[in-house]
Amino acid sequence: MSKVTVVGAGFVGATVAQYLADNNLSDVCLFDVVEGLPQGKALDMMQAAPITGHDCKIVGSNDFGDTKGSDIVVITAGIARKPGMSRDDLLKTNANIVQSVAKETIKNSPDAIFIVVTNPLDVMTYLTWKTTKLPSSRVIGMAGVLDSARFQTFIAMETGYSVQDVRAMVLGGHGDLMVPVTRCATVNGVPISEFLSPEKIDELVKRTQNGGIEIVNLMKSSAFYAPGRSVAQMVEAILKDQNRLLPCCVYADGEYGLKDVYIGLPCVLGKDGVKKIVDVKMTAEETEALKKSASSIKENVDLMNKLLVAV
């Protein structure tokens, strides 16, 4: 059985752990700084095993030693957004948390692939890459799977067609400047422009860009069902070497005209992590939008570097 460590036993982390175990995908070490929290959640999940019928071991821990030998480390540790907070407001607090978590987990699992979830996502993924010093193919951020799922959900709701037939990709940073590639969105291969007016498509794009905050405003805390499920899809793609083509936060080194930045791009996920970034031809407008998104991420990386030095 593979071993996945999930750091942060909060809403997203626990949802990831539960899905992995329920689907018999891996043993899970659920780690948190709060004493008792990961142990209690792990025990609760283990008690669901006789009902779901899985054989996975779920262990809760406050000791990094228990994360040893993980195949995948998922980082969800940090604070989440409250109403009125942008993802970037989280920058300083979460940079310190993610840096310390990355240092401790890489010591215990030098062969792991890292999936970062903590916001601001693109910046935290870059920080994890820098801290672990791993090849960039083994440090990946989760955002594109979630943002694409949100866009697909809205398309299905608006057209009335089954969500199972809707495909769409959202690229760029995980923030207001994300880039839903409407040209490639289809209902079973039929472009969505056949079913929806340009105005309606624009409306769905805006709703996708505000997908996270819409939920924060409703329930006064951050989303976790769809985020947790999105992480699990990436974990599954890696553990089963599925070669899934998914939008993930990856290190661009010239692809799409972008350099030295972690940003959402289509990539192939399998046992080695990112097997390749798929360089799809973009329109001038899409390329411009990706560049704008990349500059905003780079500004935040610079800000983070200053804040980390200042601590």
Ligand X SMILES: NC(=O)c1ccc[n+]([C@@H]2O[C@H](COP(=O)([O-])OP(=O)(O)OC[C@H]3O[C@@H](n4cnc5c(N)ncnc54)[C@H](O)[C@@H]3O)[C@@H](O)[C@H]2O)c1
Query: Which positions from 48 to 67 touch ligand X by CB under 6 A, shown as an x/- string?
Result: --------------------
Q: Which stretch binds ligand X (CB under 6 A): 72-80, 131-139, 158-166, 237-245?
A: 72-80
Please, which residue, 13 or 172, has the CB nearer to ligand X?
13
Footprint (CB under 6 A) of ligand X, residues 236-275: none
The Cα–Cα gap between 25 and 121 comes to: 25
Among 101, 238, 261, 301, binds ligand X (CB under 6 A): 101
- CA dist 57 to 36, 235, 300, Å? 17, 17, 39
Q: Which residue's CB is nearer to ligand X, number 21 or number 124?
A: 124
Out of 21, 73, 123, 143, the only residue in the binding site for ligand X (CB under 6 A) is: 143
Which of 91, 97, 140, 148 is CA-nearest to residue 120?
91
Q: Based on CB atoms, which residue is closest to ligand X, 7 or 155?
A: 7
Q: Which of 73, 174, 175, 232 is catalytic?
A: 174
Tell whether residue 8 is a contact of ligand X (CB under 6 A): yes
Residue number closest to ligand X, CB atom: 10
Rounded least distance, CB 55 to ligand X, Å: 26
Contact status: 34 vs ligand X (CB under 6 A): yes
> Under a CB-based contact definition with an 8 Å cutoff, are residues 273 and 137 in contact?
yes
Q: Which residues contact 99 (CB under 8 A, 6 or more apart)?
A: 127, 131, 308
Give 91 or 239: the residue with its C-beta nearer to ligand X: 91
Tell whether residue 77 is a contact of ligand X (CB under 6 A): yes
- Least distance (Å) from ligand X to the CB of residue 117? 5
CA distance 28 to 111: 16
Burial class (CB in 10 A: 0-12, 13-18, 19+), 130: middle
Neighbours of 131 (CB within 10 A): 18
Closest among 92, 34, 13, 26 to 56, alpha carbons compared = 26
Residue whose tokens read 């780079």: 298
Residue 60 phi/psi, 5° resolution?
A: -100, 145
Nearer to ligand X, 13 or 273 (CB): 13
Beta bridge partners of 58: 28
* Max CA pair span of the chain: 55
* Subset of residues 181 to 240 that bind ligand X, contact rule: CB under 6 A: 222-224, 227
* Total of chain residues touching ligand X, rule CB under 6 A: 34
- Which residue in 21, 112, 121, 238 binds ligand X (CB under 6 A)? 121
Which residues, 6+ apart, have CB-to-CB distance to 287 below 8 Å? 256, 257
How many C-beta atoms lie closer than 10 Å to residue 64's C-beta?
19
Check if 174 is active-site. yes
Point out the residues that are catalytic. 174
Q: Under the rule (CB under 6 A), what is the footprint of ligand X?
A: 7-13, 31-34, 37, 76-78, 80-81, 90, 94, 97, 100-101, 117-119, 121, 142-143, 146, 174, 222-224, 227
